[in-house]
Amino acid sequence: MKIKQIKVFICSPGRNFVTVKVITDSGLYGLGDATVNGREMAVVTYLEEHLVPCLIGRSAHDIEDIWQYLYKGVYWRKGAINMAAIAAIDMALWDIKGKVAGLPVYQLLGGRSRRGVTLYAHANGETIETTLEMAEEHIKQGFKAIRLQSAVPGLNVTYGVLGDKKDYYELQGNRPLPPEEDWSTHKYFNMVEDLFRQARERFGNDVQLLHDVHSRLTPIESARLGKLLEKYNLLFLEDASMAENQDNYKVIRQHTTIPLAIGETYNTIWDCKDLIQNQLIDYIRVAATHAGGITALRRITDFASVYNVKTAPHGAPDLSPICFAAHMHLNTWAPNFGIQEFVGLGNEQIRQVFQQDIQIKDGMAHLSDAPGLGIEFDESAAKEYPYRRSYLPVSRLEDGTVWNW
């Protein structure tokens, strides 16, 4: 079964997504996600000009060989654009293989390791009270793990807080130029312990709580935060410090026992190898779209399992439903799966473009046994939502210095 055609689509049903459709000479096709937030057109060009011509006529069954060919066959390895393009092709080939076999992808990976996939929901608000009210709604819906993010008093915008936007898609989908946001570590520390103190007083210890620092702190500041929050028993502290320097986490680990998670900006196993091997983290959060697809994430997952590191895949709205479906299959299989980030199954427009059969009940997600990834892409609906240039924000300290967003 040969690859006959590869189509690349970019659409914006609330936010931009790059979708790849690999079509075989038998008529079967597979879908993949190649979205890189704020740099979508770079991936589209890379796919159309550099990858697609090399793949026509190759066997769609040769997933491993094609992955190695795309990764090792270029001098410029790694990188967000390259790995997202490889990821989309890889997902699509796994989708095809599942359809040929008549099996869901998780069965090809080795079958089920659990009945369902545990999710954590997002709760955010302009005040601690509104954040906790949203958390309470999630708990009523059956979620047993909640990420808490609250606006920092005195800052114009706070990461993870929607403000006057109805959802993440409205927040992220209309930024024709990068907005600039203030940051103050001092003001953040004045708020953050109170958030978790009130949460534990209100919800007790049965609900798992999480928090995303989003790389705003230095290693020693992160260590201080970890010690401050230890008594509130967080499931994990995410992106406590900058991802590029893995030695940052040696400093943090020396001072606190709070569980640590990182990985959403990593593109290969080499980015996280030392963190995993030295057990400097407890959860690895690489995403299939950003780190080379199902083939690559399976390797990272197996490697992490040797060192007692669990998976907690990135699940923000900058990943399309195709990536979420890929994560669901990996999560269903992985023996060392921990938890999956969850921001919903998209808005009405997204559900018009992407159709999937994933059931959410009591804070868990359940796959159907549809062959392949179990997701469809409506090309006609996608045309109704053309690409709109949109950026992630830039962060500045209060004196104007550019900081880590």
Say yes or no: domain 108-372 is CATH 3.40.50.740: no
Backbone dihedral angles phi then psi of residue 35, each to the nearest 5 degrees:
-75, 125
Q: What are the residue ranges of CATH 3.20.20.120 in the chain?
A: 108-372
**pLDDT (0 to 100) of residue 160:** 85
**pLDDT (0 to 100) of residue 165:** 74
The verdict on whether 69 is a catalytic residue reads no
> Domain spanning 3-103 has what CATH number?
3.30.390.10
Identified catalytic residue from 214, 290, 314, 327: 214
- Gap between the Cα atoms of 228 and 354, Å rounded: 42
**pLDDT (0 to 100) of residue 167:** 78
Bridge partner list, 237: 211, 260
Which residues of the chain register pLDDT less than 50? none
**pLDDT (0 to 100) of residue 166:** 73
Bridge partner list, 403: 395
**pLDDT (0 to 100) of residue 171:** 67
Nearest alpha-carbon partner for 313 in 345, 335, 283, 343: 283
Identified catalytic residue from 159, 168, 188, 283: 159
Bridge partner list, 372: 104
**pLDDT (0 to 100) of residue 381:** 98
Q: What are the residue ranges of CATH 3.30.390.10 in the chain?
A: 3-103
The verdict on whether 186 is a catalytic residue reads no
